[in-house]
Structure 1
Amino acid sequence: MGDNPSRPLFRLHRRTLFQAGAGAAAAASLAGCAALDEGPEGTAAGSDELADLLPTYTPYEGGVEADLPGASDGTVSPGYLSRPESPVQAVAEPPMTTGEEITAITPLWNPAPPGLPANSYFTSVNEALGGTVVFNIADGNNYLDKITTTLAGGDVPDMFQIPGWEIIKLSDFTEAANELFADLSPYLAGDKAADYPLLASYPTAAWAMGVFGGTLLGIPWERAPYTNTMFARQDVLDSLGLEHPQNLEELLAIAEEVNDPAANRWAFASLDQTVQEAMGVPTLWKVEDGKLVHKFETEAFAAAIEFTRQVFDKGLVHPDYVADRLTNTKEIIGSGQAVFYEDGLGAWHEMLGTYRDVAGFDLQAVNPMAREAGGTPTIWRDDPAGMFTFIRKDLSEERIKECLRVANWCSAPFGTREWDLVWDGVQDVHFTVDADGVPQRTELGQTEVANTYLFLSGRANANFKFQYPGLVEAQHAWETNAAAFLDDHPFQGLRVEMPSDLAAENEPMTDAHHEIYRGQREVAEWTALVDDWRAKVGDSAREYYTGVAEDNDRL
């Protein structure tokens, strides 16, 4: 299978969106992307096919040994129960050597810290780097606006962090990226990556995600394969003498028992994907009788809609989520107004930190559930990388190498001096280590430290939030259990760029089934909605994906 698929759906025209000039930039919004008549053809290739473009995988041997071993396939992150007394140095020499500044655009989902020269954290990290990184920090909640404006103007920084969840909203990103960002294969392909050993330690599958239009452009940030999980207020369940549900029947029974609106407590702050997975809905496509079937078309998806509607109709869902599916469900859980909710696995430590002062607060992840007793759960398998750092194309060869050296330095794993500096700053200035061996930010650290340098690269997954007693062990156990139920979908291991029309039509379908949950549509309407989806895009997308599957021996 080549990088130009045999069954293209559309021809890409970059200037329909990314035109030079501020006026065009302002118009290049998500709404503008959706309004385009044309979008990109997709591409697909396996890691083996891309081998000539990618670094040779070389595990990093210089880090600290994990207390709880990870899995070589990335399904279980290594667990660390304490901070090493003497962090090791991962990179011997400062990576910046040209004397020139590096400009960078990165997101931040917290208030921006003071900039240079007033920020001693930035100054300290830059001293370790041997030069100055000048950040343009943008609000992560509105980061798409920053991306589209910058790409449309064409004046990109030296290093640019762009999350994958924003890339899929841009209908002509691949062509724009190939025009603006450097091909990294001449510097990283094969054994060339030995000059950047921390980058070489990323899994090959993660690196394959950085290929756009047949060119290695993005430095990936590896991520665990789990898209979401259901969490429970364990303290509430314990007070009621209730165990975790193992299937949907038990989930419904427990939900009815804990639901008590008179006491301002509902069973669910959010509910959707957990039910779909328990019903056996595939990640995206599955093979039945030698043909591809999209998740929308499955009996399991229809059954999930019917079950979830039943939960809503029974009044088991918090009214704020009933009114608005984008409501802040974390606050509902934190305040004790609900017992169960869905979130990414990273929310576990975030919630324990946010609500650490709430008496008795205990949040635990529920193991993947089956549809019925004796059944087998399904867990959707996420892409092996989710964020990407790009380097400006028109830089000199030495400047591109310098940016790669900075990315390599910023990739230092847990237990290294570089990790400490990036995450928490300078010891006894920006953080101290308490009696339990846990770094604690000083007042200055709380003001100045923002993990902007993290977004200049990726890093290996690590389970290290040992400041929350029992969390490392619990997360390790959850991942170990869940790994066995990951969906082995037909496109696993392939780098598939979804055709833009399919991506555009997924959101209306998501809106539709959420409207069914809330009684704004009838359950019976789902069949007609799927038929309409097939006519608009589903059948042509199936044709495209069938070609990808056949060309890669998946059908």
Structure 2
Amino acid sequence: MTVPHRLSRRTFVGGALLGASALTGCSTVSRSTDVAAINKPAELPVYRRWKGAEPDLPTVNPLVPDAYLRYPRTTERAYSRKPGDGSEVKGSVAINTPIPPPPDRNRYWQELNARTNLNLGLTITPHADHTDKFQTQVAGDALGDIWTIPDRTPYLPQLLEAKAQDLTPYLSGRAILKYPFLASIPTDSWRGCVFSGRIFALPVPRGALSALALLVRADLFRERGVDPEFSTVDELMSVARSMSDDRNNRWAFASVPTSILCTMMGISNDWAEHGGKLTYFKETEEWLEVLDISRRMVREKLAHPDGITSYNGKAWFQSGAVSMMQDTYSALAGLYQQAKGDFEIGLPIVPGPDGAPAKPWYLNPNNAITGVSRAAPERIEMLLDFLNWCSAPIGTDEYTFRKYGIEGIHHTVKDGDPRMTAVGNSETGLGDFPIQYLTESPKPLYLPGFPDGTKEMYRNLKAVTPGMKPGPVHGLYSPTSSKKGELLGKFIDDTTNDVLLGRAKVSAWPETVRRWRRRGGDAMRAEYEQALEVKAG
């Protein structure tokens, strides 16, 4: 199974509610097929790293987040004033955890309003339902002031041109320095916010933490006397056999780790670019090797039997039914938060084809992007000031409140680390109150109560991040992908799964590629290549 990864922020599928005709009434909205116009670059915000709390482990390169073994002492209140003007601010946002109680029954939300001097009216929707909710809000002109944009939003450039504030005058170049915490968001994240030559959104950055890694249950490996490190595919297979016993409902992998295998073969980031020409990763000879290895893993029962059809990897990993899982680095925080008993995650350094550390797949440095509805300049500046407040980094009083609420009510402090109370978990959505999906500061490496887990993340990222960069189509838009991307992805993933399950042969894969190219793959390639030319120019 190919575990779904986040689509490029410009790779979207068309939908019923957001037809292009509904968004092109204004002559200033670009045609949905005008690749050059939609991919016109803009001057990006300058990057100025905020010098905050001193990390416990040395800063090694810009892609490795600051690492803290214990929660840093709150050093300052970054705001001497409140960012809001006392008005109501409506917003639309998704959440991956239980929806918090409304403001009248939520002390955290009440305090948030007090600290920002705003009346925040957030429409909070479970992530699984966010796309449908968002499309309904667009159709009913009910997005509010600030809105998180879901994956697969159709005709996104036209939507933003029609509905969103052009933020270029406020954020491009040195203008962003008025909002210093937004300026501390790395440049790569801003590339996914530019459409039609203008900055139309703000990023929700994840940086290198959005890359895919191989997570292992280090405690289970230690218990069974198996070394999780490996230097070749054969050694990985041997490790997996030692950790599998299907008769006792025990498997090595939650699913076949095809993305990890791709990095071992030197296949990079979905599309590879050479001299302005693009090759899709499933067109390569190396992908045939990945398919063959993956089929062997399934045949030998090294992966959970439901990993292809009914994936629930995090639950299996937590329970110990599987001991290895490919997922993002950012997944570790939630896994440790729910840890019970002797639970420890290891991150083997995956070898590349030359034996050096493989470059993880780093497709998109953002979790999401956020639009701001058009308004008078003074209101736009106030909303950006609020979003800047939402981006105050670790070590500030604002960050501590945003993440943990009020001490004694929402969290207590144990051994220097904040620990959420039952009230805190309820009122903040398990510590994930959804203003973090409007925008926030780059996430630090910090796992409350698990300093060894932080050290392990730091060790791995230090080894694998040099030279790592997003895929070549990050920040580019393809009209064909917008209309056909989901169907093409489903076709090629379904055929991949047929091979893994033994319903199709690896030798038949070239015909799959030919069909993919005819159905739209070549058109996507041509549009992305045109976009690359525009970007280079």
TM-score range, shorter chain: 0.7 to 0.9
Q: How does 1:55-94 map to 2 (within 5 A)?
A: 55-61=45-51, 63-73=52-62, 75-94=63-82
1:403-461, CA deviations, whole angstroms, 9 ceiling, x for partnerless residues? 11110111000111101111111112221111x11112233222212312222323123
| Equivalent-residue separation in structure 1 for 2:347 and 2:20 (angstroms) | 42
1:463-509, CA deviations, whole angstroms, 9 ceiling, x for partnerless residues? 121421301111111111111363685x37x6212332562312321
Deviates more, 1:239-248 or 1:11-20: 11-20
1:497-542, CA deviations, whole angstroms, 9 ceiling, x for partnerless residues? 2332562312321221022111232222211000111122222223
TM-score of the aligned structures, taking structure 1 as reference length: 0.85
1:178-207, CA deviations, whole angstroms, 9 ceiling, x for partnerless residues? 111111112222332232111122222222
The 3 A distance-change label for structure 1 pair 292 and 388 is closer
| Equivalent-residue separation in structure 1 for 2:447 and 2:329 (angstroms) | 13
Provide runs of 4+ in structure 1 moved above 6 Å: 10-15, 44-47
| Equivalent-residue separation in structure 1 for 2:459 and 2:292 (angstroms) | 32
Q: How does 1:249-328 map to 2 (within 5 A)?
A: 249-271=234-256, 272-287=258-273, 291-322=277-308, 324=309, 326-328=310-312
Query: How far did 1:287 drift?
Result: 4.4
Which residue number in structure 2 is paired with residue 177 of structure 1? 160
Q: How does 1:121-200 map to 2 (within 5 A)?
A: 121-163=108-150, 166=151, 169-200=152-183
1:16 pairs with one of 15, 19, 25? 19
Q: Which amino acid aligns with 1:65?
A: E
1:334-383, CA deviations, whole angstroms, 9 ceiling, x for partnerless residues? 2222221111112223222212x23x222212212335x84662422222
SS of residue in 2 equivalent to 1:319: coil
| Equivalent-residue separation in structure 2 for 1:12 and 1:314 (angstroms) | 41
Deviates more, 1:281-290 or 1:410-419: 281-290
| Equivalent-residue separation in structure 2 for 1:46 and 1:212 (angstroms) | 6
| Equivalent-residue separation in structure 2 for 1:466 and 1:151 (angstroms) | 39
The 3 A distance-change label for structure 1 pair 58 and 336 is closer
SS of residue in 2 equivalent to 1:117: helix
Query: How far did 1:268 drift?
Result: 1.4
Q: Which amino acid aligns with 2:501?
A: R
SS of residue in 2 equivalent to 1:237: helix
1:124-158, CA deviations, whole angstroms, 9 ceiling, x for partnerless residues? 11111012111111111221111111122222211
Q: Which amino acid aligns with 1:387?
A: A
SS of residue in 2 equivalent to 1:427: coil
Cα contact 2:45–2:172 (8 A) shared by 1: yes
Which residue number in structure 2 is paired with residue 412 of structure 1? 392
Which residue number in structure 1 is paired with residue 436 of structure 2? 454
Query: How far did 1:114 drift?
Result: 1.3
TM-score of the aligned structures, taking structure 2 as reference length: 0.88
The 3 A distance-change label for structure 1 pair 178 and 424 is same
SS of residue in 2 equivalent to 1:155: coil
Quick one: percent identity of the two aligned structures? 25
The 3 A distance-change label for structure 1 pair 415 and 367 is same
Q: Which amino acid aligns with 2:437?
A: F
Which residue number in structure 2 is paired with residue 106 of structure 1? 93
1:390 aligns with 2:371: yes
| Equivalent-residue separation in structure 2 for 1:289 and 1:118 (angstroms) | 58
| Equivalent-residue separation in structure 2 for 1:484 and 1:190 (angstroms) | 26
1:377 aligns with 2:361: no
| Equivalent-residue separation in structure 2 for 1:337 and 1:12 (angstroms) | 38
The 3 A distance-change label for structure 1 pair 404 and 70 is same
| Equivalent-residue separation in structure 1 for 2:82 and 2:369 (angstroms) | 23
SS of residue in 1 equivalent to 2:101: coil
Which residue number in structure 1 is paired with residue 349 of structure 2? 367
Tell me how many residue pairs correspond in the alignment: 509
Cα contact 1:228–1:345 (8 A) shared by 2: yes
Cα contact 1:221–1:387 (8 A) shared by 2: yes
Unaligned 5+ residue runs, structure 1?
1-9, 21-37
The 3 A distance-change label for structure 1 pair 361 and 214 is same
| Equivalent-residue separation in structure 2 for 1:495 and 1:546 (angstroms) | 13
Q: How does 1:41-60 map to 2 (within 5 A)?
A: 41-42=34-35, 49-51=41-43, 54-60=44-50
The 3 A distance-change label for structure 1 pair 411 and 274 is same
| Equivalent-residue separation in structure 2 for 1:154 and 1:488 (angstroms) | 34
The 3 A distance-change label for structure 1 pair 462 and 488 is closer
Q: Which amino acid aligns with 2:42?
A: L
Which residue number in structure 2 is paired with residue 486 of structure 1? 468
1:228 pairs with one of 191, 198, 212? 212
Deviates more, 1:507-516 or 1:404-413: 507-516
Which residue number in structure 1 is paired with residue 446 of structure 2? 464
Unaligned 5+ residue runs, structure 2?
1-12, 24-30
SS of residue in 2 equivalent to 1:135: strand
| Equivalent-residue separation in structure 1 for 2:469 and 2:177 (angstroms) | 34
Q: Which amino acid aligns with 2:343?
A: F
Cα contact 1:229–1:365 (8 A) shared by 2: yes
Query: How far did 1:553 drift?
Result: 5.2
Cα contact 1:43–1:497 (8 A) shared by 2: no
Q: Which amino acid aligns with 2:292?
A: E
